[in-house]
Each structure stands twice: as C-alpha cells, then as structure tokens.
Amino acid sequence: DIQMTQSPASLSASIGDRVAITCRASQSVDIHLNWYRLKPGEAPRLLIFSTSGLQYGVPSRFSGSGSGTDFILTISSLQPEDFATYYCQQGSRIPFTFGPGTKVEI
C-alpha cells in the first residue's frame, strides 16, 4: 500500500496568513494527488484534484503543486471558514489512501 504522510500535524494561524501543508507519498503517485477540507458536522469538500486542478467553486486562494512523492497545498490568505482539517489522498493505486490530516487552528 502507498503510505501518505502530512506535515505539520497541526498549525496555528491567523486570518490573512499564508499557509502551506505538505503531503508525502511512500512511492510515486505521479500527479494523482487530491486535497480535501473537512469541518466538523459537514461533508468533506474536494479542493484540489490531480495535484493542481482547482475544483469548481473552490476559491482561488487555494492552490496545489508537486509531483511524484512530494506535494504542497497552499492557502494564500486564510479565511474564517478555512479553520478545518485538511487531508491529501492518492488516487494512483488501490487502496486509495489518505494522509493523517493537518488541523488548521486559530
């Protein structure tokens, strides 16, 4: 199985801050890397697909980069609704594994 790791596990930030979350795969997933935001009591929301594709309706402050084994999700200017937990997920090989999550807190 492809193991996914994320760093940091949590971070504290303020409104307007630029935030970067790193995701690493145990083997290459090419560009098949997606990012989700999960808030308590809500359905997960796809933010970025295939490393850098912005999902329809997602604000442009979200961006993704990377390839192979190392990926980054960047939020250019943190908004109140962005305080949540973020997960990366590889879609390259079964089982489709997620990272352990990064909690973004005030």
Partner 1 sequence: EVHLVESGGNLVQPGGSLRLSCAASGFIFNSHSMNWVRQAPGKGLDWISFISSSGETVHYADSVKGRFTISRDNDNNSVFLQMNSLRVDDTAVYYCARDLGADTTFDYWGPGTLVTVSS
For partner 1, the closer CB: 82 or 87: 87
Instruction: Write phi, then psi, for 80 (nearest 5 degrees).
Output: -55, -35
Does 11 participate in binding partner 1 (rule CB under 8 A)?
Answer: no
Least Cβ distance, residue 16 to partner 1 (angstroms):
28
Draw the binding track, 42-61, toward partner 1 (x: CB under 8 A; -: no contact): xxxxx--xx----x------
* Residue 70: CB atoms within 10 Å: 13
With a CB cutoff of 8 Å and minimum separation 6, the contacts of 54 are 47, 48, 60, 62, 63
Contacting residues toward partner 1, per CB under 8 A: 32, 34, 36, 38, 42-46, 49-50, 55, 87, 89, 91-92, 94-101
